[in-house]
Amino acid sequence: MEIIQQLVSKEKYGIKCPHTINPKYITIHNTDNNASAQNEINYMQRNGNSTSFHIAVDDKVAIQGIPFDRNAWHAGDGANGPGNRNSIGIEICYSTDYASGRHEKAFYNAVEIVQQLMKQFNIPIENVVQHNHWSGKNCPSRIRKEGTWEKFLSLCKEESEETNMGLVNGYQSLTWVGQKIHAYKQSGKEKLGLISLPYGSVLDITKFKLPGKVIKCIVNCHYFEMGKSNGYLGRCQSFTEDALTLGPQDSNYKGWNGGKDKPYMDLVVLNDGTVKAGDFNSWDYPKNEVMIGIAPAHVEILNGKDVDIYSPAVGYGKVTTANTQTLLVKCEDGKFALVVVAGKLNLNQCRDWGHAYKVTEMSAQDSGGSSQMRVDGVNKLYTKRAIPTCLVIYEDIEEATDPEPSVPDLETNSINVDSVGLRIRESLSFKNGKPTGKVIGFIPVGAKAKLIEFVNGIQKDGYQWAKVEYQGITGYSQYDSMCYWIDDGGEE
C-alpha cells in the first residue's frame, strides 16, 4: 500500500519531532474518533501542542506526517522512553464507526503498512506493540475491546494469501462490522458447479449427494422455480438439470402485480472463469462454454468495478435491508468462493467486505431464511429450508467418462413438512400481504403432501404456493417446508 507523504514543516520539528531516531518498534493506536486519515494529519500538523505520530491510516489511504528518522510524541512513556524515542506511531482511523465497515478496512490497511515497515527497518514481530505496552493506556481501544490484537499480529507476521487480505483456500470464519461470515474458497482440483433439480423438486443440503463427486461446500442459490429446458442454454445451467426460470417469455407466465412483467436477471460464468451479467433475453454462449448459469438477486461487483444490477423480479430491497446473505464471489487470483453472512448485512456492506478481501466479482443469491452452508459434511449455517438450486464447490472422485449422473434422493411431487405445519386453503387470495382463503386442512410436522402443481410466480405474501392433496383434501399451500406463515385468525 502506498504511503502518501505530507510531512510536517521543519519549523515545527522542535515541538513535534525534535530527535533523530533509528526505529526499533512499531506502536499501534486507535484514534477514538470518526475522523479520516487526512483530517488526523491536518489536525496534528496545524495545532501547537507536542502530540504527534508518524502515520494515520483509514479505509482508503495511509498518510505520513512525521519523517521515519524523527521521533514522535505518541507513546506516553516520557521524554526518554523507548516508545516515544524509538518507535513509529501508527494511528488506525474510524475506531468509533461501528456501522459502515470503514474501521475494518483501516484495520487491514494498517496490517499492510506494518508489514512494509517491518521489512524496511528490519523490525521483528515481537516489537510490534500496543500503545498500552508503553504507558498502560487503554489504546488501541477498539482492538483491545474486540480482542483482535492477536489476529492483527498474525496477519502482520504471516506471508500468505490472508496477509494480503484475500480469502484463504478452503474454509474460514470471518467477522465484518460485527457480523459473522462463513467463506469457502476453491483450491487444487476443486471446481464450481450448480445443482438444479427437476421442476417440482427440492433438496435438503444435509442429505444431497452427487455420484462420482465429493461436495466440499454447498450453499443455497436462487429460489425461483424452473420451467423445462427448451433445448438451449437457459437461465439455469448446471451439471444436473438445465432449465429456464419461469418468466415473461413463458407462455404460462401470468406476470407480477396485475400482470406487469418483471424479468429476471442472468449471470453466466464461462469455463475460462469470465463472469457476465445482465438481462440476457437470448443467450449468446454455447452450452459447452458455460460453467454455470444462474438468476441472482443482485450483482454488486463485476470485472472489478462496483455495479448495481438487480433482478426486477426480486426488487431492490435486498440491497438496503440487513439480512443473512449468500454470495458467489471471485477472488483476484481467479478462484471462486461461496460466502454466507450468518449475521445480518445489507449488500452495500457486503460490497465493502468484498473490496477489503480483494474480490473482483460478487453476486447475491436468495437470502433471508434460505441462507445456509455445509462444509465437508458439517453445517456452518443450517435453516432446514428446502431449496431447488444450490451452488457447490466439489471435486471429482475420478475422471467423468459416463453420462451426466441422475439426481438421487429427491423428494419429487411432494411437500415434506420438517418443522412448521402448513395450512391448506380452499382458494388462493390475499389481503395486505396475508393469505385469506378459507382453511380447509392442515399438514402437520413430519407429514408429506402430494404436490399437484405449482402456482406460477411468488405470491403477494412473498412465498411460492402450490396446489396440494393431503388425506383427501385438495387445496393450496405454501411450498416452502420451512416457511413462516402469519396467523390471520383462520381455523386450523
Among 74-88, 243-257, 351-365, 454-468, where is mean pLDDT lowest?
243-257
How do 373-375 and 213-220 pair as beta strands?
A: antiparallel
Q: Provide the β-strand partners of residue 194.
A: 391
- Which of 53, 57, 29, 153 shows the shortest CA–CA distance to 113? 57
pLDDT grade for 67, boundaries at 50, 70 and 90? very high
Q: Provide the β-strand partners of residue 425.
A: 439, 476
pLDDT at position 227 is: 55
- Most confident residue range from 195-204, 222-231, 285-294: 285-294
Phi then psi dihedrals of residue 324, to 5 deg? -65, 150
Range 392-429 burial, b when 16+ CB lie within 10 A, else e:
bbbeeeeeeeeeeeebeebbeebbebeebebbbbeebe
- Helix axis angle, 149-157 to 102-121, nearest 10°: 50
The x, y and z cell numbers of residue 13, run together, are 520539528
Average pLDDT of the chain?
82
> In which residue are the cell numbers 380447509 written?
440
pLDDT at position 109 is: 92
Phi then psi dihedrals of residue 343, to 5 deg? -85, -140
Cβ neighbours of 385 (radius 10 Å)? 22
Q: Which element (helix H / strand E) includes 193?
A: strand 191-196
pLDDT of 459 higher than 80: no
- Which of 89, 83, 73 shows the shortest CA–CA distance to 134? 83
Q: Which long-range contacts (CB under 8 A, 24 or more apart) does 398-407 make?
A: 398/212, 400/212, 402/212, 404/239, 404/240, 405/210, 405/211, 405/212, 405/240, 406/211, 407/195, 407/197, 407/198, 407/201, 407/240, 407/241
Q: For 150-186, write each residue's pLDDT tens digit.
A: 989 988 886 433 334 578 889 988 877 778 899 999 9
pLDDT at position 231 is: 44
The x, y and z cell numbers of residue 454, run together, are 405449482
Among 18-27, 101-110, 317-326, 398-407, where is mean pLDDT lowest?
398-407
Q: Which long-range contacts (CB under 8 A, 24 or more apart) does 39-42 make?
A: 40/91, 40/93, 41/6, 41/65
- Most confident residue range from 205-214, 319-328, 407-416: 319-328
User: Higher model confidence: residue 203 or residue 14?
Assistant: 14
Percent of the chain exceeding pLDDT 70 equals: 80
Q: What is the DSSP letter of 406?
A: P
The x, y and z cell numbers of residue 1, run together, are 500500500
Q: Which fold has domain 3-157?
A: Lysozyme-like (3.40.80)
pLDDT of 314 higher than 50: yes
pLDDT at position 277 is: 86
pLDDT at position 361 is: 96
pLDDT at position 415 is: 66
pLDDT of 248 higher than 60: no
Among 3-7, 8-12, 109-113, 166-170, where is mean pLDDT lowest?
166-170
pLDDT at position 414 is: 66
pLDDT at position 407 is: 39
Q: What DSSP assignment string belongs to 42-74? A: HHHHHS-SSB--SEEE-SS-EEE-S-TTB--B-
Mean pLDDT of 324-339: 95
Alpha-carbon span 388 to 454, nearest angstrom: 13
The x, y and z cell numbers of residue 400, run together, are 467423468
- Which of 248, 462, 252, 246 shows the shortest CA–CA distance to 366? 462
Alpha-carbon span 462 to 92, nearest angstrom: 43
- Most confident residue range from 102-116, 151-165, 471-485: 102-116
Q: Which fold has domain 414-478?
A: SH3 type barrels. (2.30.30)
Mean pLDDT of 471-479: 87
How do 62-64 and 3-5 pair as beta strands?
A: parallel
Alpha-carbon span 104 to 175, nearest angstrom: 9
Mean pLDDT of 210-219: 92
Among 154-158, 260-264, 292-296, 318-322, where is mean pLDDT lowest?
260-264
pLDDT grade for 274, boundaries at 50, 70 and 90? very high
C-alpha dist (Å) from residue 335 to 191, 193, 390, 458, 482: 9, 13, 18, 34, 33
Task: Spell out the domain ranges in the chain.
Answer: 3-157, 170-396, 414-478
pLDDT at position 315 is: 73
Residue type, 149: W
Q: For 355-384, write each residue's pLDDT tens digit.
A: 888 899 999 998 777 899 999 999 999 887
